[in-house]
Structure 1
Amino acid sequence: MPEHARPQDLQPLRPTLRDRVPVLPPGAPYLLRALHEDLPFNEIARAIERVPSVAGRLLALANSAWSSPISPVTSLEAACSRLGLRVVRTASIALAVAQPFNPARCPAFDAAAFWISALLNAEAANALAQRIQRDEVSTARTAALLSNLGLLWLAEALPRETGAALEATHDGPPGSLDRHLEALCGLGYIEASAQLAEAWNLPEVLQEAIASQQRADAQASVLAQLVSAATSMRATLQRDSGWTEDLRLLRLGLDPAAQQAAFAQLKFAQVRTVELAETLFAGH
Structure 2
Amino acid sequence: MNSLKNLPVLPEASLRILAAINTPEIPIDKLADALSLSPSLVARLLGLANSAYFARGRNVADIRTAIFQVLGLDLVKALAMAIILNVVFDTRKCQGFDAEHFWLRSLTTAVSAQKLAVEIPQLREFTPSTIYSGGLLLNIGVLVLGYLQPDELHGILIDCKNNRLSVAQEISRQMGQSHYQIGYFLLHKWQLPMLYQLLLKNYENKYFEGMEQPLLVLLRICQRLSAAVIAGEPINPLEFELECRQIELPLENILELAEQLPENQPAMQKLAAIMGH
State whether TM-score is above 0.5. Answer: yes
Whether 1:196 aligns to 2:189 is no
Alignment counterpart, residue 251 of structure 1, candidates 219, 235, 246: 246
Whether 1:230 aligns to 2:222 is yes
**1:181, distance to aligned residue in structure 2 (A):** 1.5
Residue-by-residue CA offset, 1:154-184 (whole Å, 9 max, x unaligned): 011111211111111126667x212211232
Residue-by-residue CA offset, 1:57-103 (whole Å, 9 max, x unaligned): 22233345555565643321012234322542332122111111111
- Which position in structure 2 is the counterpart of 1:90? 78
3-state secondary structure, aligned to 2:92: helix
Alignment counterpart, residue 6 of structure 2, candidates 4, 10, 20: 20
1:123 partner letter: V
Q: TM-score normalized by structure 2? A: 0.85
2:33 partner letter: R
Counterpart-to-counterpart distance in 2, 1:64 and 1:142: 20
Counterpart-to-counterpart distance in 1, 2:163 and 2:115: 27
**Alignment identity in percent?**
25
Alignment counterpart, residue 273 of structure 1, candidates 261, 268, 272: 268
3-state secondary structure, aligned to 1:214: coil
Counterpart-to-counterpart distance in 2, 1:90 and 1:274: 17
1:92 partner letter: A
Q: Does the 8 A contact of 2:187 with 2:196 survive in 1?
A: yes
**1:55, distance to aligned residue in structure 2 (A):** 1.5
Counterpart-to-counterpart distance in 1, 2:164 and 2:251: 24
What are the equivalent positions in structure 2 for 1:144-163 lying under 5 Å apart?
A: 144-163=135-154
2:105 partner letter: S
Unaligned runs of 5+ in 2: none
Residue-by-residue CA offset, 1:184-242 (whole Å, 9 max, x unaligned): 22322122111111111111111111222222446352222222222111112122222
2:4 partner letter: R
Counterpart-to-counterpart distance in 1, 2:44 and 2:249: 37
Unaligned runs of 5+ in 1: 1-13
**1:49, distance to aligned residue in structure 2 (A):** 1.9
Counterpart-to-counterpart distance in 2, 1:155 and 1:51: 23
Alignment counterpart, residue 242 of structure 1, candidates 235, 255, 259: 235
- Which position in structure 2 is the counterpart of 1:4? none
Counterpart-to-counterpart distance in 2, 1:173 and 1:250: 30
Counterpart-to-counterpart distance in 1, 2:140 and 2:85: 9
Distance change in 2, residues 1:57/1:171 (3 Å): same
Q: Does the 8 A contact of 1:26 with 1:51 survive in 2?
A: no
- Displaced runs of 4+ in structure 1, greater than 6 A? none
Q: What is the number of residues matched between the two proteins?
A: 267
